Chain A
Amino acid sequence: MKRVVPTGKLIFERTSFLNENEKHLQCILTHSFNSSIGVFLPEHDCVPRILGDMMDDQMSYYVEQVPLNLLTETDFIKGFVQAGSLCMISYGTCIDSDDCVAVTPEGMLVMSLCKDTYQRCGLDGHLSKAGKNIEKFVVKVDLKSDKFYPGTKYYDRVQWCLSQMANFDFLVTWIPNDGKVCPSSIQNFFKTKSIQCNRLKVNKTNHEFKNFNIPIIDPAVIETDSEQKSCNYDEVFEWLGACAVGIDDYEGDDYLSTYSCPTPNKQASYCIYTQYEGIIHPSIVKQYINYLRQFMKDKKLPWSSVTVHGFVDSPLSWIYDHGFHNNGDNIYTFLMFPNDEYWLYRAIGGQDICP
């Protein structure tokens, strides 16, 4: 058998929220297309309601058969791309076999196109860097650029090229800059163009654990030494994953599974994992993490964690091209401690570039 290409990579960082570079913000805000957010709280029995409220307040929509040239119309750019933070990703398209289109909150139209479509569309792009020898091309158009307006040669060309392409279904969420503007304006916009646009409900899943072993984690020690006073970083991540998947009674049968909670561990009477699915705007993640940091201190929790799953078919994973081989993972987990330190795990597919 030939050399084995990794199925995934893990990037682990240990640092603090107080670090002046504010790398955590960069990580959250550049990860534009999130399909779920999950929160794990040890020694607590419910996730603060505010997360649910935030998810309900965020309006997300499913828009059907949008012609791409609509996205470059001045109305749309002025009204939504510039006047707020827009997240838009094509739905039902697979990054490894179809054309995928997305608009980032920064106002970048990103298209990951197959060779055929790329050659026909006539826009400038580059070969996708996610994986070797894959025939996907990435075209980026900066909708917020001040040189991008009707009348310029470039604009007219883009507009014409996009009008030749097929229509796409999108998941959309939009947060206006001006608090007085209603986020549902975007729904009205599509409706006036007689495009089907329906509101999406977020899905919630809960896993509750009672009398449950949780690992002891020391923020300062990421790799255990011989004394074993705290758990290894990779074991902790696996364990968090096990909780998120909703592992059953894992210390039961030896024949079925040899998995057990990493050592050292202790028993907690209650733990909770709650996950919301939908399209989640990065700024919600940011707000929520800020809230949770304070909440954790108030409730004296030993730590808390927030996991965000990116769309597996997103054309971007952070700022890099994204692909799909066996999986299209682009996930990050913040493991936060009351002393403002945090561990950041970023899990990506084997074909992607490390952020």
Chain B
Amino acid sequence: MYQKIVTKGSTDYCYLKIRLDFGKDHDAIIDALNFKQLILSAAKDVFGIAVSCSLIDVLRYEKSSRTAVIRIYHKYLTKLWSSLTMYGNINGAPCAFRILQVSSHLMALANNSRSMKLHMVYDG
């Protein structure tokens, strides 16, 4: 009746929460499709098609904050992450991908206590 399974080694997938920031004088409307294309071109710039052809799923995208949750293969984590880090401009507008959270569990991205905002009730 009692069963226990512990993952051995790495999990298959890795999930990232990323935000695209622009410099203060620039702004652009990026929809989910553009966002995915940007990720692909970032990966292609640094590592070529071998990495950019691997699985990159945009699971959720919020246009207003340009924040996305993506799913990738765990073995490409370092490569994809660093290619996002080195990506610096879109058509001349300086930008930066901010990696907000990295986890091998999608569930982990539902909450981030590090960026938790406190809402205080001031009584009397």
Chain B binds chain A: yes
The chain A residues found within 8 Å of chain B, CB to CB, are 1, 4, 6-16, 19, 35-36, 38, 62, 91, 94, 171, 198-201, 203, 222, 233, 237-238, 240-242, 244-248, 250, 255-259, 275, 277, 307, 309-313, 326-329, 331, 333, 345, 347, 350, 354
In the complex, whether B108 has a CB less than 8 A from a CB of chain A is: yes
Report whether A7 and B10 are in contact in the complex, using a CB–CB cutoff of 8 Å: yes
Bound CA span A10–B8, Å:
9
Interface residue ranges of B110-124 to A (CB < 8 Å):
110-114, 116-123
Determine, out of B21-29, B67-75, B90-98, the stretch whose residues face the partner at the interface. Answer: B67-75
Which B residues are in CB contact (< 8 Å) with A327? Answer: 101-103, 108
Report whether B55 and A244 are in contact in the complex, using a CB–CB cutoff of 8 Å: no
Report whether A237 and B104 are in contact in the complex, using a CB–CB cutoff of 8 Å: no
Closest A residue, CB atoms, query B104:
A8
Report whether A4 and B10 are in contact in the complex, using a CB–CB cutoff of 8 Å: yes
Tell me, rounded to whole Å, the shortest Cβ–Cβ distance linking A184 to chain B.
Answer: 9
| In-complex Cβ contact of A203 among B1, B75, B114, B119 (8 A) | B119
Bound CA span A286–B106, Å:
24
Bound CA span A38–B9, Å:
28
Which B residues are in CB contact (< 8 Å) with A16? Answer: 1
27 pairs, CB–CB < 8 Å, chain A vs chain B: A6-B9, A6-B11, A7-B14, A7-B103, A7-B104, A9-B6, A9-B11, A10-B11, A11-B5, A12-B4, A19-B2, A35-B111, A36-B111, A94-B114, A171-B118, A200-B120, A200-B121, A240-B107, A242-B59, A247-B59, A256-B36, A256-B61, A259-B57, A275-B110, A309-B108, A312-B112, A327-B102
Report whether A329 and B105 are in contact in the complex, using a CB–CB cutoff of 8 Å: yes
